Amino acid sequence: MIEHVRSERKVLGLIMDVFNPLTVNLWGANINRRTVENVKKAGFLETEVTNLAGDIVKEIIINNKK
């Protein structure tokens, strides 16, 4: 999957948190999701993560061996 996620950089991540309510109300999209963490919490052990645009847009490949 290609996913837009919260930046791991402290200041940029905070800015994304502040603006998230606005983007949700305007476009319905959360800009501060922690998708990689959530995938791991869901129990998927074999994941490949590639940064496509800084640390905000990622390609996440999950091998479904939960």
Helix (H) or strand (E) run with residue 10 in it = helix 10-27
Predicted pLDDT at 47: 84
Predicted pLDDT at 33: 93
Angstrom distance (rounded) from CA 13 to CA 25: 19
pLDDT tens by residue, the chain, 66 residues: 899 999 999 999 999 999 999 999 999 999 999 999 999 898 888 888 999 998 999 999 998 765
